[in-house]
Structure 1
């Protein structure tokens, strides 16, 4: 696979992951044990609604980054690093008192998938060293 096809895959991944982030609320409605940390409807938790707002914002910015990933590397690396940190904290907390290990099948692997795919595509596509598109 050529660097240009990997670059295109990076653009597609940014759009797909951005879309999933925008769909966090509906995902929690359909599969609450995999995405929400509270009983009841998603909108019943102020905390969860804050997370929905943050991820929706990140999703829109990832869509924008898909146009020229090389110009948005700090956002992409923030997404990678924050996804790993978020997944690690959630994995530990899923074993704590009163929490559900369903997150180990839902949001934890989803966050790790985002981190692995985006980092692999950034590194293999040459997006970090493209000279034909100034940052």
Structure 2
């Protein structure tokens, strides 16, 4: 893959990840079993905080999509924080089955897949 094509795909992936982060709240209402870690209908201050953090990250990923090479630190933060978050959630999915197992089909693969895709598309020679 040429550098230009890789950068184009990175920009598209950043936009997709940014849009996903912006839509966490609606996704939790569309498929609660895959995106909520609390009882449906019950208020969760934790979830509201997570939605706020991911909403802000989504805005900044959309900004980074315009010129990814100027936002390498943010992109690597998104990669590593998503990988760590997804790994913890994957382990926690086995707590209180069967409800939490749905996360293995919902937010866990989106976090780990998004992190893997961004890491694969990030140009290495510019990170030095």
Structure 1 length normalisation: TM-score?
0.87
Poorly superposed stretches of 4+, deviation over 4 Å: none
The answer on whether the counterparts of 1:28 and 1:35 sit within 8 Å (CA) in structure 2 is: yes
Matches within 5 A, 1:53-72: 53-72=52-71
Q: Provide the alpha-carbon RMSD of the alignment.
A: 1.7
Matches within 5 A, 1:54-133: 54-97=53-96, 100-123=100-123, 128=127
What is the match of residue 132 of structure 1? none
Q: Measure, in 2, the Cα distance between the counterparts of 1:6 and 1:38.
A: 39
Q: Paired residues, what number?
A: 127
Q: Measure, in 1, the Cα distance between the counterparts of 2:60 and 2:41.
A: 27
The answer on whether the counterparts of 1:15 and 1:66 sit within 8 Å (CA) in structure 2 is: yes
The gaps in structure 1 that reach 5 residues or longer are 130-135
The answer on whether the counterparts of 1:6 and 1:121 sit within 8 Å (CA) in structure 2 is: yes
The gaps in structure 2 that reach 5 residues or longer are none
Q: CA deviation at 1:127?
A: 5.2
The SS at the match of 1:39 is: coil
Structure 2 length normalisation: TM-score?
0.91
Q: Measure, in 2, the Cα distance between the counterparts of 1:76 and 1:70.
A: 9
Q: Measure, in 1, the Cα distance between the counterparts of 2:112 and 2:5.
A: 23
